[in-house]
Amino acid sequence: MKAEIITIGDELLNGQVVDTNSAWIAQRLGALHIPVVHITSISDKANAIKVALQQAEARADVIIMTGGLGPTRDDITKATVADYFGTTLVRNEVVLAHVESIFRRKARKMMPAMNIGQADVLANASVLFNDVGTAPGMAVERDGKYFAFLPGVPFEMKFLMENRVLPMLRDTYKSDVFVYNTYLLTVGIGESHLAEHIADIEDALPSFITLAYLPRIGMVRLRFTGEGSDIETLASITDSFKQQVVERVKDYVVSIDNCSFEEVLVQTCISAGATLSTAESCTGGTISAQITAVPGASQMFQGAAVVYSNQAKMDVLGVSPDTLVQYGAVSEPTVKQMAEGAKQVFGTDYAIATSGIAGPGGGTETKPVGTVCIAVAGKSETRAQTFHFKNDRAINIERTVIAGLTMFWDMLRKEG
């Protein structure tokens, strides 16, 4: 049982929009042990859609297609797919009533006439009713293959997957080969050093277990994938190899679940009853935003002060004017005072502070673009460190966030 995802839209091909739907769909199918073997993004053109369906049908058993179901005339998926299946479009009165009710409920003007066409569905399809939008999804089964056609708007696609497609696949398309994935997240060790440390364990892996390195800035996630017919044996053997790796590199392991670093930090703080605040200059609130994106963060996160100007650094966080004059805004003494100020203002156990020159402007000879100072204030001490990044603004912000979170993690482990 294999799956393929096809996303439609010129906005994907010209880079206007990043395809986040495919990763989300792949995760959900993976949870049902239906591995995705191919992801394709194609143009809003009839020929591209037909060729992609043909190739997908040859490679996969479950084909999920998103996009091109809207009311405007660049949305040609439905007519093209009807042609592909040699069927027609028929008006569905339940969908029509639903689309009309959405326009009524939102107290908008009359429903634009073009939306009537949204009630037309493939004659050979089961309608996947869309409670959260106007474009219905459709499911077609043919020759043992399952096709789902879904809107490209992420939350509508997610609603239809969660409530219509996945329950159906869960019941019907059971796989005889199980795929078992388990993860490990390391921080503070590079990919090749990590690989060197665990080379002998990797050598000893049986052929049905593969190990993948998923590096990101400042961290490496390891994925162990086992394939076999008996899920319990598979899980037990795979886990035993993972456990060997965990013991080998335990100083760098932050999670043995498929968690993000932020989730680990939030959970660790909640368990320890520890609270956090941030004082951010060059990261502009990104650390705070990433921490608070984790559900439950309000139990450990008290707040953040984003202090772009020197005045705000003094007024909000009590940074001393002398320190700013003597050492500058991007300096270890300044970030230490920012972190201690945030700890006090928000009444937290810990605080992370950042100040740096993210670029592209603002660099000087002694402090070029990429110079970043980070401090972490803990229960008993405040530590600061200076980093010399380069690259562009977005990367400098990302590196600073990871470095700040890593310094915080080290402090948490030391004091916890």
CB closer to a second copy out of 87 and 387: 387
Q: Which is nearer to a second copy, 120 or 124 (CB)?
A: 120
Out of 121, 234, 269, 304, point to the residue binding a second copy (CB under 8 A). 304
User: Tokens representing 91?
Assistant: 């008006």
Select the residue interacting with a second copy from 80, 286, 355, 400 (CB under 8 A): 286
Closest to a second copy by CB, 71 vs 126, is 71
Name every residue whose Cβ is closer than 8 Å to that of residue 73 and which is 6 or more positions away in sequence: 114
Query: Which string of x and - marks every residue 49-88 that binds a second copy (by CB under 8 A)?
Result: ------x--------------xxxxx--------------
* DSSP summary character for residue 360: S
Q: Is 416 in the site for a second copy (CB under 8 A)?
A: no
Site for a second copy in 15-54 (CB under 8 A): 15-20, 22-28, 30, 35-44, 48
What part of residues 172-201 is at the interface with a second copy (CB under 8 A)?
A: 181, 190-193, 195-196, 199
Rounded CA gap, 236 and 242, in Å? 10
Site residues for a second copy, 325-384, by CB under 8 A, read: 345-347, 359-362
Query: Encoding tokens for residue 303?
Result: 């707040």
Residues 134-153 within binding reach of a second copy (CB under 8 A): 134, 153
The strand pair at 145-150 and 62-66 is best described as parallel
Read off the tokens for 98: 């639903």
Q: Which is nearer to a second copy, 124 or 334 (CB)?
A: 334
Cβ proximity to a second copy, 273 vs 295, nearer residue: 295
Q: Which distant-in-sequence residues (6+ apart) come within 8 Å of 21 by Cβ?
A: 5, 7, 66, 152, 154, 157
Nearer Cβ to a second copy (54/88):
54
Tell me how far, at minimum, the Cβ of 410 lies from a second copy, in Å.
Answer: 18
CA distance 82 to 231: 39
302 φ, ψ to 5°?
-100, -35
Burial 391-403 (b: 16+ CB within 10 A, else e): eeeeebbbbbbbb
Interacting residue with a second copy among 163, 306, 314, 386 (CB under 8 A): 306
> Rounded to an integer, what is the distance from CA 398 to the centroid of its chain?
14
Q: How far is the CB of 392 from a second copy (least distance, A)?
A: 8
